[in-house]
Amino acid sequence: MQLPHTNVSLWVEKQVTRLGDLVSWIWLVLLATIVVNVVMRYLFGQGRIEFEEIQWHLYAIGFLLGLSYAYVSDIHIRVDVVREKLSEQAQAWIELYGIVLLLLPFVILVLYGVIPFISYSLETNEVSEAPAGLPFRWIIKSFLAIGFLLLLVATIARLSRIWCFLFGWPHVSAVQEPHEESN
């Protein structure tokens, strides 16, 4: 289904795509960290808990920031068995209801719950419970909020596109589509 763009969706999707392209390099850093950890452990007999924890942190950052990228790129998981047989109008209505009744409440609930989680970690200067583990646990916990805030913004952009498709407004000003190359 081709949804029309709005000014909001164009700007948000451009920013999220840029961030997603930048964050995608985290997977190479994660891979290198895993390789170094495995080599140190099995060739030199010196496993380091810091390397294991940084692996978890890198994976969490990549996943949490990748959620919004997957959503604006429309490469997230769908149940297409039923959806593909419906008209574009029906698909848009289902997506509208899914966003309003499921996705937005879930994202808002997570954001509401994560604030005390991060605050407590910051106030107590939480560190890893593992010996020689990483300090500043609040930093990685903050990526929960960052990731879900980005998902909220991406959801609002998608909602504006669906709204424009179903109701014909807001119209996009004369702006080039985000993924088209200019000649």
Provide the pLDDT for residue 118. Answer: 94
Residue by residue, pLDDT tens for the chain (183 residues) are 788 989 999 999 999 999 999 999 999 999 999 999 999 999 988 888 888 899 999 999 999 999 999 999 888 777 777 888 889 999 999 999 999 999 999 999 999 999 999 999 999 988 888 887 788 889 999 999 999 999 999 999 999 999 999 998 776 654 445 554 443
Position 25, amino acid: W
Provide the pLDDT for residue 134. Answer: 84
Distance CA 124, CA 27 (A): 31
| 2 belongs to a structural domain | no
Total of domains in the chain: 1
Residue-range definition of the domain harbouring residue 130: 7-75+86-167
Distance CA 99, CA 71 (A): 12
Provide the pLDDT for residue 175. Answer: 45
Provide the pLDDT for residue 182. Answer: 41
| 175 belongs to a structural domain | no
| 81 belongs to a structural domain | no
User: Sign of torsion, CA 6 7 10 12?
Assistant: negative
Residue 142, Ramachandran bin (φ over 0: left; ψ between -120 and 50: alpha; else beta):
alpha
Three-state SS at 39: helix
pTM for the structure as a whole = 0.85
| 58 belongs to a structural domain | yes
With residue 42 as reference, give the H or E element that holds it. Answer: helix 26-44
Residue 19, Ramachandran bin (φ over 0: left; ψ between -120 and 50: alpha; else beta):
alpha
Provide the pLDDT for residue 179. Answer: 53
| 136 belongs to a structural domain | yes
Provide the pLDDT for residue 183. Answer: 37
Provide the pLDDT for residue 172. Answer: 66
| 90 belongs to a structural domain | yes
| 71 belongs to a structural domain | yes
| 179 belongs to a structural domain | no
DSSP letters along 117-166, please?
HHHHHHHTT---SSTT--S-HHHHHHHHHHHHHHHHHHHHHHHHHHHHHH
